[in-house]
Structure 1
């Protein structure tokens, strides 16, 4: 099958466009040229532009009842608590970031004061700053004096233990499960549904004389093992995915269509033999006139072409194309010709035939320098000559097997496109189209939830499945 790097590049192409139809890269030319360009870039990571809280907000706080330290990370109650509204409340300087799996912060109770009415929670920006978190609508708070959880009203609900001087308490948001969770001294106390929409601010309250807490926004190691918690949550997601039941004949059919599509004839024959030898045998039904005949087109030729390219025998592959599919290479400035010529140059560099590479570059690559869309890739290829050990350079990706796979995929699609009875799906197999639809649905679901939580990345799910499968062996 395609290498993980090749799969990742296709996945990156999809995510950068952010749209299922654009992600399909309908046109053969633009699709593989874009993949060739993306392979030079590191794995795509969502740049959400979010800033995390770093300190307490001394401007928007009930300053008459508390004092915030100069470093803006400690708060002390300085009043005598004559009234219920004499609460010392302070929010973080920024809202909790939400384009991630989990957000979390902690407080350390330096002094529980006269009554230990310390609270930790989350509030909206316009929260009334003389009320405990949880006492007002659109807020949630875990209180130290009674261990109750308050959610939008003055009456609390049983939740966890009380906490006092010397305790470390944390508050977090699990965006995957849409829950608040709270911890005490490194252990989860409990969770509750997050029913508040919009941006939320980490919030701390003190409410009796001499109460003092230190706030940790991540500038120091948490008492709670956040990384372990995140790993458990990701594993829950993975297990939920793996519990989804797919009929055996359907999953086998998808795999078979994938092998057909990419020309893995030998693997396909072994796969067919294996399905027939199972007890009971697996019968693959033809569903709604599935396009198996289309993707069987020139199967043996496509297998041979892929094998040649994977071995680096580009001249032989070009000769076979000229003989059997001249329409693919008749335009010597087409994308397919470009990718093959680039790969030939790369193979010469790989074996150290630098003088021959220079001659070949002047003969075949130079003509692409003035063509829009090709120049940057040509420059990267030629720049390999500048390195004594090109595999170890920033351009080493050009010498990886995934590059050969990319060129082989492009040639495979080009051959499929010559089928006079072809469908419109010669770029992607049924399995890949299904995966793209899955990705589009997950992105849409996330958008309906205000884009909260991590973006769905298909290759991460596949890699996790692969790692879990290896661990089970």
Structure 2
């Protein structure tokens, strides 16, 4: 194992300054610019298959309650975002259009595979980025009746009106409507003083409801009243329909909570931490809400004072347990449904749930080259699995479910890439699958860029973090450089970079040019392993390139570029995210990654 610190210090002291000038000259640059975060934005790789961006929460001055943080933020089972020192190189995230530039000469332009090997990316399409959600966290100073007085933190409300007639009632709305993406929303109100008569209403309303009425006394308004324990919905004195008996009355010192369930469209209330049951079933229709649904409180007589808690303090009601119960019910309904029919790679369809699952598992094993495991699994489940070979043809029924020799070849190539032996991998590719590199200039660029990085790695050795992550020898795959002088090694790297620039530097596509500059940036630092582009030396990047090679081989054989189970997972994740963005509350209770736990 190379001592990284020692080799880096020796290199920095022995590297001739004159080497940098040729690097800048053949790049045609006056300076090498370290890549910024914005450079990799368009091609940022997905973190694990099916990873879609979670709903982002924006709450002024306050964090969301714990149960909402679990619903709206990434759960503990999702992969952590790639940090600045762990992001992937740009050459691994090139879009499919990178080599479709019209300025490329006809001699350089080669046919490309039907499906390129780069990972999916959102590009500059901002429509795929979920908008930040504003959660209610206080009362709105500008959206209240004039007979109410708010405290400095906009949590406490005091009634200052006449309090003689029903028309003297005063209400207030929260600063933001409740986003249906929450799935479940809860807030509590403490009755600091019931005042003269305790005519206090706690509930919800839309933006169009007048603020001179208690909650529940107008259309699109729901309330639970403290003086009689009744609930009101679009009713009140002088109107058709009166309140309905619901729960106990509440007075000074009581804590009343309101639960909005966007999954079953119900509204419920709690008192002093005890759930009182559903007050309004099927009440919340998100498609008909005018401007959204707001928490609302109404007061009617002098001396009434209440204070809200939107999650700034611990709730009396165990909303986390209530959320888990609702979530368990959703999963029970999902699991009770029949498994859908899937189409296999051979074009056949199966309605048998167990066969579907076995089919997905086997195709995953075959795709990633687990030949022995695939053979054993197929032997145990042969009666329920149909062919997972290439596209169906007249002889598909006679073909074996998978070809061990093909898996062995793909695995051998993959092992060479993962070990950093890029030249050997290219040799095997040309021997076993000669059409792959001939028809995929995209992949050639990625392999040769990784080769450049491997040459640099042979000089500086891996960073300690990278070595710990992969537990490999930094000199693996490059024995010819072990005894060479650093200056000689560095000149070899420059020569290889010049050849790389000569082959791909004429491509006008900015993605290719940015990838080249980023890759060459390693030469600009005396200690690349401790520089801002040290992530290029991370051995984990080899896995990205190995997966690209594997996908390109499969595409050349007219096979899917990813196994069906990953495709299903990605689709499920996107569907859930789209449902959330569309305001479907039930989707907040479901996370596709939890199926894997």
Specify whether residues 431 and 138 from structure 1 end up closer, same or farther in structure 2 by C-alpha distance, changes over 3 A only.
same
1:215 & 1:261 partners in 2: Cα distance?
55
Shift of 1:205: 0.9
- 1:399-443 CA-to-partner distances (Å, cap 9, x unmatched) read 264x33332222122222333xx3xx5223333343455446545
2:375 alignment counterpart: 269
Q: Which moved more, 1:354-363 or 1:99-108?
A: 354-363
Specify whether residues 339 and 236 from structure 1 end up closer, same or farther in structure 2 by C-alpha distance, changes over 3 A only.
farther
1:320 & 1:214 partners in 2: Cα distance?
72
Q: TM-score, normalised by structure 2?
A: 0.62
2:199 alignment counterpart: 117
2:562 alignment counterpart: 428
1:49 alignment counterpart: 132
Shift of 1:123: 0.6
Confirm or deny that 1:283 pairs with 2:384. yes
- 1:36-64 CA-to-partner distances (Å, cap 9, x unmatched) read x789xxxx99532332334323333221x
Specify whether residues 272 and 229 from structure 1 end up closer, same or farther in structure 2 by C-alpha distance, changes over 3 A only.
same
SS of the residue 1:53 aligns to: coil
- 1:361-398 CA-to-partner distances (Å, cap 9, x unmatched) read 62565454564223344444455675969599786487
Specify whether residues 187 and 257 from structure 1 end up closer, same or farther in structure 2 by C-alpha distance, changes over 3 A only.
same
Confirm or deny that 1:84 pairs with 2:169. no
Shift of 1:83: 1.8
Specify whether residues 239 and 269 from structure 1 end up closer, same or farther in structure 2 by C-alpha distance, changes over 3 A only.
same
Number of equivalent positions: 436
- 1:437-459 CA-to-partner distances (Å, cap 9, x unmatched) read 54465456556xx434487899x
Pick one of 284, 296, 302 that aligns with 1:195. Answer: 284
1:409 & 1:305 partners in 2: Cα distance?
10
Shift of 1:101: 3.5
2:505 & 2:589 partners in 1: Cα distance?
35
- Structure 1 unpaired stretches of 5+: 17-23, 277-281, 468-473
User: Are the equivalent residues in 1 in contact too, given 2:218–2:233 (CA < 8 A)?
Assistant: yes
1:383 & 1:167 partners in 2: Cα distance?
65
User: Are the equivalent residues in 1 in contact too, given 2:231–2:246 (CA < 8 A)?
Assistant: yes
The CA RMSD over aligned residues, in Å, is 4.3
Specify whether residues 375 and 270 from structure 1 end up closer, same or farther in structure 2 by C-alpha distance, changes over 3 A only.
farther
1:74 & 1:283 partners in 2: Cα distance?
64
Q: Which moved more, 1:142-151 or 1:251-260?
A: 142-151
Shift of 1:204: 0.8
Pick one of 243, 250, 261 that aligns with 1:156. Answer: 243
2:518 & 2:270 partners in 1: Cα distance?
51
SS of the residue 2:411 aligns to: helix
Within a 5 Å distance, the mapping from 1:101-140 to structure 2 comes to: 101-140=183-222
SS of the residue 2:215 aligns to: coil
Within a 5 Å distance, the mapping from 1:181-192 to structure 2 comes to: 181-191=268-278, 192=281
1:25 & 1:439 partners in 2: Cα distance?
23
User: Are the equivalent residues in 2 in contact too, given 1:57–1:93 (CA < 8 A)?
Assistant: yes
SS of the residue 2:427 aligns to: helix
User: Are the equivalent residues in 1 in contact too, given 2:522–2:533 (CA < 8 A)?
Assistant: no
User: Are the equivalent residues in 1 in contact too, given 2:580–2:587 (CA < 8 A)?
Assistant: yes
Confirm or deny that 1:341 pairs with 2:473. no
1:59 alignment counterpart: 142
Pick one of 407, 411, 425 that aligns with 1:303. Answer: 411
Specify whether residues 85 and 287 from structure 1 end up closer, same or farther in structure 2 by C-alpha distance, changes over 3 A only.
farther
Q: TM-score, normalised by structure 1?
A: 0.76
Specify whether residues 11 and 285 from structure 1 end up closer, same or farther in structure 2 by C-alpha distance, changes over 3 A only.
closer
Shift of 1:320: 0.3
1:25 & 1:437 partners in 2: Cα distance?
20
User: Are the equivalent residues in 2 in contact too, given 1:256–1:268 (CA < 8 A)?
Assistant: yes
1:178 alignment counterpart: 265
2:186 & 2:211 partners in 1: Cα distance?
22
User: Are the equivalent residues in 2 in contact too, given 1:263–1:306 (CA < 8 A)?
Assistant: no
2:583 alignment counterpart: 451
1:313 & 1:303 partners in 2: Cα distance?
14
Q: Which moved more, 1:209-218 or 1:121-130?
A: 209-218
User: Are the equivalent residues in 2 in contact too, given 1:387–1:393 (CA < 8 A)?
Assistant: no
Q: Which moved more, 1:248-257 or 1:346-355?
A: 346-355
